């Protein structure tokens, strides 16, 4: 029965979703193609008309099956008929797709040829009609069309056998549990009932690593396992903890999702990708070990290993391979593990020789379960009316059936939320699935009530590995390529937006969990997706057994293997719609295997290839005429196949790696890539602005940079009809000879354009009037959110930026190297502006000028980020006579950066939310904070290259600077004071709680409040060519931070000859870096706690003294595990 449910569920969803559009296209296309086919016309027309007549009956049965899956499960004959209908629909779709392909090819050929004389065309048409009539019997496409119609009609004639189901069904049984509207938002607090467990984990995180049983190898690491059945909230608990402020104390944070068939190299690569923001190649395990060891060396890290299963007895040795490089981590490092079994927790404890520690998650209490259910069911409902009392009573009955599972409770809460109607809630309560005392049955109920469009989208996700990290945009593109998303009838909403709504609904219904910028499926939800799609989707990892038992209904296949023989078995699957192919080996026969696959799997809509050693994708990809989505992750490919430009249905091309630095886009892409008129998205590692005639790609949504040239195919009018663009960059605007040419871009007609970049490449003397008029004529639509302008040589603002007709939706503005621009537009009145960056505008005097006679207004109400760089003439924030109301200037500002503004008079009163302040090359003598007594929220303060600065008010404001953690004071030669008070610690018992300090003059360390600091973790002394030695007082200062300082760096100190002698006493120091200190010949005695010593570009004598093979002082540093000394530049 379980398999029957699965097969019925997905086939009903697919049939219901595709039936109407495919049948409509089939009938209309059939009649159109039969116009000149006399031989077949009569019989085919009759079949098409009969099909049209019977269509309402087919629709009735399919829609009924969709809403009554319980009845359908119990009717094998109906189930079998539905599968036949689905196959017939698929065949018809393939035929129609090929006919559309022929139409696209015909249109393209027509456009390329010169127009012939009409009389010649007429005579040719007559001849072609005659030939067509004679050749009909051998025309494969028309023959297939006839067969598709006949097959559909043959299946449809049996529909009458099931009409009784529709007639006998009671109206009240036909549930409509899904509504298009989504109200409110999902509740943020999913930790109901887990407060005690969170407190235990947080307390453990805060404790130092003091376990006596730890071996020498893992002495710095503690381990805690979170154990509980599936759906108990293990991952949710750790997500809340991982994002807690307390975890900022760790130098490194890593979250790795581990599949139930994990590979040690993959897990280590995941860690390195998190740390380096780039995934390494899967080289030898030893090389990956060394890279990870160096990354975590002496760093206090937090590692979460999520969802670990114990599959085999030898898992312990595999985990020893994973954890070995982590032993180099710093003191206080923590590893958190989530698992369903105690045995996994014990295995991990054995690996690092620790005592097993467990926090166990049991089911929620009934009252907690009810609170969680209500928080989801009534999310977004303020002050529920009295009639919801009945619903709350029903909810109390429902939670008794949910087994205390947080996951099941959230999912059912999402089902209930869709319809706050008593009958709907009672239907859920009385569902036989809830009575089966199974979490899987409960989750199945949440799937059943989805609309068919969402069912197909969700079921497809069973293709992916457990713990797969989903990219929302990429998954939506796959859905579109596979036909799960259809265009809106009015064409007002693009398919990507429709897919975004679908995805958001699945998130709100808890089918996906947000994971940073990405998403994951809970393992039980993933199991449900696999169960539902068992006859449609298959994932194979280095196994031939599964491939020998494939059902003919298979449409989506994922293979990950090092065995080429497994790939060759794909050839027998003729009806695949998607293929994910991962080949992790080197074999020269891979190319020939791909050729065979391309020739055999001609129905593919989606193709993903990942491998290392493929030089070129075979030209035989031309056989994939139905292909919509192509994603390639291959390191060595230097160009795409030329036949790619003949795949006219292609919508998405995504290529992630560009190994060959010599390859240019001109050669990488086919020269006639502009044939692909359906292409919606193209992602390449390099700019593709050199595509000639790019205007033919009318469906393209993103064109990051288009280089204008005075050559046909690169003119600005190429952009005229590209009205689906959401992101556009236009470069080389100086090549426009006439301002009227700019009108040809028709930017204001691009109603989906949200991101625009306009660049003039040259800054030499140009016609200022021309630049101004060109910019006026490049008026974007009102929907624009992000605007960048670079190299503009006009003296005035454009007319579409003024206060009369502003683009009010702007959220981000960047103006760069606009050398003649004098007066800025009234940016302060833009209600949604969040980021403003001005760079290289030497004639601007004020940020805001007078406008509309309005002297006071709420300036920059939502601005969060303000960067002002190289505005040499900037004098003040406002022109004389303009002011912001008290407290209304930058009320939401978080980051303020001021660089190269020597004329600027003063700093504005610090906004109440400001966290980052950087000033560089500013002419002030001091830095004045606002005079009120409110706390100053600054976390980061950087003062760089300010020669006039004599004092900073740190000591004066120490009580208000409790949030300050990072301080940089570089090249401020006249700084003599950090405040008026010398003995701050004795007067008010306040201390600066810095964790990171960067300075160029060590005398700053002797100024209060830095003199009394005791919490510092990292110190960098750099960029000082005059420093020869440290003052004696510096030794005393270092002793004050000996128990906290873990990292110390000396860099770019050209004259320094000696280091402080007190370095030996720094008991917490783990990393010492000395770079570009060429006069240093000898080291003082160093702390026994050191893990890493890194010396680059040093004096040759120092290298000789401490060299590994016989250096005279090598014994002084022999206790340090990791040492690297080099004189090379």
- In tens, the pLDDT along 574-624 reads 889 999 999 888 888 889 999 999 999 999 999 999 987 788 899 999 999
Which secondary structure element, helix H or strand E, spans residue 459, and what is its range?
helix 452-460
Strand partners, 731: 707
d(C-alpha 863, C-alpha 395), whole Å: 44
Contacts of 347 (CB under 8 A, 6+ apart): 310, 315, 316, 319
Contacts of 265 (CB under 8 A, 6+ apart): 282, 285, 288
Closest CA to 11 of 575, 532, 606: 532
pLDDT for 72 equals 53
- Residue percentage of the chain with pLDDT more than 70: 78
Query: How far is the CA of 517 from the CAs of 510, 629, 841, in angstroms?
Result: 16, 23, 35
- In tens, the pLDDT along 750-777 reads 999 999 999 998 766 678 899 999 999 9
d(C-alpha 161, C-alpha 167), whole Å: 12
Closest CA to 301 of 274, 280, 319: 274
Secondary structure of residue 1056 in the 3-state scheme: coil
Residue 4, pLDDT above cutoff 50: no
Strands 812-816 and 835-839: parallel
pLDDT for 141 equals 64
Residue with tokens 């059945």: 229
Q: What is the model's pTM?
A: 0.78
* Among 378-387, 486-495, 794-803, the range of highest mean pLDDT: 794-803
Residue 236, pLDDT above cutoff 90: no
Query: How far is the CA of 83 from the CAs of 4, 445, 555, 820, 1026, in angstroms?
Result: 12, 22, 13, 69, 83
Residue 1022, pLDDT above cutoff 90: yes
How many CA atoms are closer than 13 Å to the CA of 244, on its beta-carbon side?
Answer: 18
d(C-alpha 303, C-alpha 220), whole Å: 13
The alpha-helical segments, DSSP class H, found in 685-799 are 739-743, 768-777
- In tens, the pLDDT along 894-937 reads 999 999 999 988 887 777 889 999 999 998 888 877 656 678 88
Closest CA to 11 of 549, 575, 629, 537: 537
Neighbours of 886 (CB within 10 A): 8
d(C-alpha 251, C-alpha 640), whole Å: 42
Cα pseudo-dihedral 183, 186, 187, 188, rounded to 10: -140
d(C-alpha 788, C-alpha 812), whole Å: 8
Tokens coding 1022 = 């750099």
Cα pseudo-dihedral 161, 162, 163, 167, rounded to 10: 130
d(C-alpha 878, C-alpha 159), whole Å: 76
Query: How far is the CA of 274 from the CAs of 266, 517, 983, 1018, in angstroms?
Result: 12, 13, 44, 22
Higher-scoring residue by pLDDT: 68, 370 = 370
- In tens, the pLDDT along 176-199 reads 322 322 333 444 555 788 888 999
Tokens coding 666 = 């001109």
d(C-alpha 690, C-alpha 699), whole Å: 18
Q: Which fold has domain 364-449?
A: Helicase, Ruva Protein; domain 3 (1.10.8)
Residue 63, pLDDT above cutoff 90: no
The alpha-helical segments, DSSP class H, found in 939-1086 are 984-987, 1032-1040
pLDDT band at residue 1030, thresholds of 50, 70 and 90?
A: very high
d(C-alpha 601, C-alpha 595), whole Å: 10
Contacts of 1098 (CB under 8 A, 6+ apart): 1074, 1077, 1078, 1080, 1125, 1126, 1127
Which secondary structure element, helix H or strand E, spans residue 1053, and what is its range?
none
Average pLDDT, the chain: 81
194, with CB counted inside 10 A (0-12, 13-18, 19+), is: buried
- In tens, the pLDDT along 382-437 reads 665 555 778 888 888 888 888 788 888 888 888 888 778 888 888 888 776 666 66
Residue 52, pLDDT above cutoff 80: no
CB contact at 8 A, 301 and 329: yes
- In tens, the pLDDT along 812-843 reads 999 999 999 988 888 888 899 999 999 999 99
Q: Give the Cα-Cα-Cα angle 268, 272, 276 (nearest 5 degrees).
A: 175
Q: Give the burial string for 1036-1058 (b: 16+ CB within 10 Å, else e).
A: ebbebbbebbbbbbbbebeebee
* Rg of the chain taking only CA atoms, in angstroms: 34
Strands 895-901 and 916-922: parallel
Closest CA to 981 of 972, 973, 990: 990
CATH code reported for the domain at 195-360: 3.40.50.300
φ/ψ of 748, rounded to 5, equals: -65, -15
Residues counted in the chain: 1129
Q: Where are the domains of the chain?
A: 2-172, 195-360, 364-449, 1019-1129
Residue with tokens 């403003």: 836
Tokens coding 644 = 């790619």
């Amino acid at each position: 029965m379980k398999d029957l449910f699965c097969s019925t569920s997905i086939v009903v969803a697919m049939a219901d979703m595709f039936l109407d559009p495919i049948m409509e296209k089939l009938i209309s296309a059939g009649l159109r193609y039969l116009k000149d086919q006399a031989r077949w016309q009569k019989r085919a027309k009759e079949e098409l008309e009969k099909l049209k007549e019977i269509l309402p009956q087919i629709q009735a049965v399919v829609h009924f099956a969709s809403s009554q899956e319980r009845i359908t499960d119990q009717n094998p004959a109906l189930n079998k008929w539905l599968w036949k209908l689905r196959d017939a629909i698929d065949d018809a779709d393939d035929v129609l797709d090929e006919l559309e392909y022929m139409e696209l090819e015909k249109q393209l050929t027509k456009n390329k040829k010169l127009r012939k004389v009409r009389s010649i065309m007429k005579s040719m048409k007559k001849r072609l009609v005659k030939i067509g009539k004679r050749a009909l019997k051998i025309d494969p496409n028309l023959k297939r069309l006839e067969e598709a119609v006949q097959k559909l009609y043959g299946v449809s004639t049996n529909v009458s056998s099931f009409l009784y189901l529709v007639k006998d069904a009671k109206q009240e049984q036909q549930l409509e549990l899904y509504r298009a509207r989504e109200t409110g938002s999902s509740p943020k607090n999913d930790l109901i009932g887990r407060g005690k467990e969170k407190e235990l984990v947080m307390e453990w995180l805060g404790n130092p690593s003091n376990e006596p049983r730890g071996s020498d190898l893992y002495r710095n690491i503690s381990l805690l396992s979170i154990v509980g059945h599936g759906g108990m909230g293990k991952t949710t608990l750790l997500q809340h903890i991982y994002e807690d402020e307390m975890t900022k104390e760790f130098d490194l944070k890593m979250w790795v999702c581990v599949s139930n068939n994990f590979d040690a190299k993959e897990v280590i690569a995941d860690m390195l990708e998190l740390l380096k923001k780039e995934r390494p190649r899967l080289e030898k395990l030893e090389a990956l070990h060394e890279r990870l060891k160096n990354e975590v060396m002496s760093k206090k890290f937090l590692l979460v290993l999520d969802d670990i299963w114990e599959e085999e007895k030898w898992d312990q040795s595999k985990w020893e391979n994973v954890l070995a490089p982590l032993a180099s981590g710093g003191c206080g490092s923590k590893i958190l593990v989530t698992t369903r079994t105690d045995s996994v927790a014990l295995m991990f404890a054995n690996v690092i020789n620790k005592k097993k520690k467990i926090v166990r998650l049991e089911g929620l209490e009934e009252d907690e379960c009810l609170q969680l259910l209500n928080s989801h069911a009534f999310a977004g409902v303020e002050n529920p009316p009295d009639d919801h009392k009945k619903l709350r009573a029903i909810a109390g009955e429902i939670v008794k059936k949910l087994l205390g599972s947080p996951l099941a409770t959230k999912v059912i809460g999402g089902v209930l939320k869709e319809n706050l109607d008593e009958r709907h809630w009672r239907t859920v309560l009385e569902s036989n699935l809830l009575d089966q005392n199974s979490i899987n049955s409960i989750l199945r109920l949440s799937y059943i009530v989805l609309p068919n469009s969402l069912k197909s989208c969700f079921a497809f996700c069973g293709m992916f590995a457990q713990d797969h990290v989903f990219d929302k945009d990429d998954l939506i593109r796959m859905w579109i390529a596979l036909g799960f998303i259809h265009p809106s009838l009015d064409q007002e909403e693009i398919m990507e937006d429709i897919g975004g709504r679908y995805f958001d609904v699945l998130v709100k219904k808890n089918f996906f969990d947000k994971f940073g910028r990405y998403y994951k499926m809970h393992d039980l939800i993933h199991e449900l997706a696999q169960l539902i799609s068992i006859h449609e989707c298959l994932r194979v990892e280095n196994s031939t057994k599964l491939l020998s038992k494939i059902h003919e209904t298979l449409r989506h296949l994922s293979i990950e293997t090092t065995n080429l023989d497994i790939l060759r078995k794909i050839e027998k699957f003729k009806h695949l719609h998607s293929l994910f192919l991962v080949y992790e080996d080197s074999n020269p026969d891979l190319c020939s295997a791909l050729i065979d696959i391309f020739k055999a799997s001609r129905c593919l809509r989606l193709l993903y290839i990942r491998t290392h050693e493929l030089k070129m994708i075979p030209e035989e990809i031309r056989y994939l005429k139905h292909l919509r989505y192509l994603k390639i992750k291959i390191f060595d490919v230097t160009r795409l196949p030329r036949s790619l430009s003949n795949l006219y249905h292609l919508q998405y091309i995504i290529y992630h790696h560009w190994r060959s630095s010599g390859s240019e886009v001109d050669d990488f892409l086919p020269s006639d890539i502009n044939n692909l008129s359906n292409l919606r998205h193209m992602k390449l590692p390099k700019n593709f602005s050199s595509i000639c005639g790019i205007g033919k790609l009318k469906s393209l949504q993103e064109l990051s940079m288009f280089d204008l040239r005075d050559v046909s195919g690169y003119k600005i009018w190429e952009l005229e009809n590209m009205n689906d663009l959401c992101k556009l960059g236009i470069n080389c605007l100086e090549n426009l000879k006439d301002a009227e040419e700019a009108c040809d871009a028709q930017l204001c007609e691009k109603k989906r354009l949200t991101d625009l970049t306009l660049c003039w490449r040259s800054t030499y003397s140009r016609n200022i009037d021309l630049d101004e008029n060109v910019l006026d004529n490049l008026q974007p639509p009102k929907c624009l959110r992000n605007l960048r302008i670079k190299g503009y040589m006009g003296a005035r603002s454009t007319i579409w930026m003024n206060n009369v007709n502003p683009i009010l939706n702007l959220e981000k503005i960047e103006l760069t190297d606009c050398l003649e621009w004098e007066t800025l537009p009234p940016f302060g009145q833009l209600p949604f502006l969040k980021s403003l960056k001005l760079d290289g505008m030497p004639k601007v005097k004020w940020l805001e000028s007078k406008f509309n006679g309005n002297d006071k207004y709420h300036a920059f109400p939502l601005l969060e980020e303000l960067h002002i760089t190289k505005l040499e003439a900037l004098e003040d924030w406002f022109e004389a006579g303009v002011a912001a109301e008290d407290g209304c200037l930058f009320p939401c500002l978080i980051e303020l950066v001021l660089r190269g503004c020597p004329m600027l008079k003063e700093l504005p009163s610090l906004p109440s939310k400001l966290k980052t302040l950087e000033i560089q090359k500013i002419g002030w003598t001091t830095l004045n904070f606002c005079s009120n007594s409110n706390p100053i929220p600054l976390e980061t303060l950087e003062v760089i290259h300010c020669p006039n600065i004599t004092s900073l008010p740190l000591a004066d404001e120490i009580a208000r600077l409790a949030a300050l953690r990072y301080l940089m004071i570089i090249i401020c030669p006249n700084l003599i004071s950090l405040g008026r008070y010398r003995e701050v610690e004795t007067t008010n018992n306040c201390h600066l709680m810095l964790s990171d300090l960067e300075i160029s003059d060590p005398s700053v360390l002797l100024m209060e409040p830095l003199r009394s600091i005791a919490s510092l973790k990292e110190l960098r002394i750099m960029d000082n060519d005059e420093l020869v030695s440290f003052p004696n007082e510096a030794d005393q200062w270092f002793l004050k931070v000996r128990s906290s300082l873990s990292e110390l760096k000396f860099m770019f100190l050209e004259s320094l000859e000696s280091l402080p002698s007190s370095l030996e006493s720094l008991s917490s120091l783990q990393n010492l870096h000395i770079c570009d200190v060429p006069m240093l010949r000898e080291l003082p005695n160093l702390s026994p706690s050191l893990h890493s010593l890194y010396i680059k570009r040093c004096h040759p004598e120092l290298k000789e003294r401490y060299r590994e093979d016989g250096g005279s002082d090598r014994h002084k540093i022999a206790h340090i595990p990791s040492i690297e000394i080099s004189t090379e530049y």
